[in-house]
Amino acid sequence: MSQSKTPKDGSEHEFEEHTDGRVTATQHLKPWSAFEFSGFRMMWISGLSSSVTMQMRNVGFGVWLYQETGSGVMLGLLGIVQLFSQMPATLFGGAFADSMNRKKLISSTQGFSFVLISLATLLLLANQLRPWHIYAIVLILGLTSTLGGPARSAITANIVPTTHLMHAVTSNTATYQISSILSPLLFSLTYALIGLPAVFVIGVFTSLPAAIMPLFVKLEYGKDGSEERTTAPMIQRLWEGFQFVRNHPILPGLYIMDIGVTVVSFYREIMPLIVDRIFKQGAWAIGPLTAANSLGGVAGSFLVLFMANFRAKGMLVLFATGTYAILLFGFGSLQFLPDNSLLLMVIGGVIISGLGMTDAIGMTTRQTTVQLTTPDNMRGRAVSFHSFCAMSANNIGTFEVGYMSSRIGAGNTMLLGGVISVIVVLAIWRLISGLRNYRYP
């Protein structure tokens, strides 16, 4: 005998009687179940706006800098600038997220995007924008946006129940990827029809909801970081977080693998160079190729939803990252294809889409694992160390790929990245037993 009911969260509960007399309840959630919660909807709007702002800023700044200097090294230096601001900000952001009001922290840090992108837009319109302005703004925004990043991740468990956490994280990841499809296409359309200044203006307007919406969120689950009321010094809290992560049976393997692969393969921030050196196209091609990467990311995110009952989450990350490493060989091999722009764009788009898909599967599963295996009072710091590793790898990777592309070619850089990435994945699989044996639920 079984029965079902549909509660307000959009899920269905079925009660089953086993042969031994036990009665258990199973919950079947719909892919959109997290949107039943008003707090999640408001944070989703904020996150979407923040994502569009960041991508329009990154692409716009990168295109302007590459057009102004024509240098892959100068473009890659954006990664080094962000590295110096994001490394300390990520760690302190986690401690802040565990001890401050997460809503206000997110709102205040997002407010800097509106102010500084507005300043860059005015300088561009006045023909006074210089490379050092770009580096300075990227430095400050890297600091402020990163300080709020752990709070944005940690607050997810305060606005949806644990049963919906996988769906909430996946919905956020999918939303980011969808915005990563639309934003580059919006960039290409705006750039072609109006020009680069209009791209900057769009970034100004989308930054407003990102800063305002978190203030209206009601926290209903767990506790906000501000309730910890700790008097421990900041350094002590950071050390406690580091010790938690270091002794965790799963997280070190996840972080190390992410660093090892990303440092040698992070191509997204230098797409102007990739488009020029591999695809032999102008700035217009950045939009379609970046959209292809994000389209794959959306597919990967939804694939995670339908694999929610796949218990070997650690092996899922290893499989996804290993496939990503193999696809890097295909990316690098594009240089050997005939000089046919249509053929290169089609095959390259398929490969980049695959890279986006496997990256999204690994990223979503990593983020969910951090949330599920960390207590609330430590979650902000655990997320911050995850972000610290990811952002550091992204920024170092931006410079490494930009520098190596200028020395040995963009295609050869991707081939080298594929070799190193395969070695890293195999080493983590062999050495970190906690990761390959992790099961949930």
Give the start-to-end residue ranges of the domains of the chain: 1-30, 33-436
Contacting residues for 311 by C-beta, under 8 A, at least 6 apart: 439, 440, 441
- Inform me whether the pLDDT recorded for 15 exceeds 70: no
Q: What share of the chain in percent tops pLDDT 70?
A: 90
Burial 148-157 (b: 16+ CB within 10 A, else e): bbbbbbbbbb
Which of 2-16, 142-156, 186-200, 253-267 is the least confident region? 2-16
| Per-residue confidence (pLDDT) for residue 5, from 0 to 100 | 43
Span 157-182, pLDDT tens digits: 888 887 777 778 878 877 777 787 78
pLDDT at 4: 41
Tens digit of each residue's pLDDT (9 = 90 or more) over 209-240: 999 989 888 887 766 555 554 556 777 877 88
For domain 33-436, the question of CATH label 1.20.1250.20 is answered with yes
The confidence score (pLDDT) of residue 39 equals 84
Average pLDDT over residues 47-68: 90
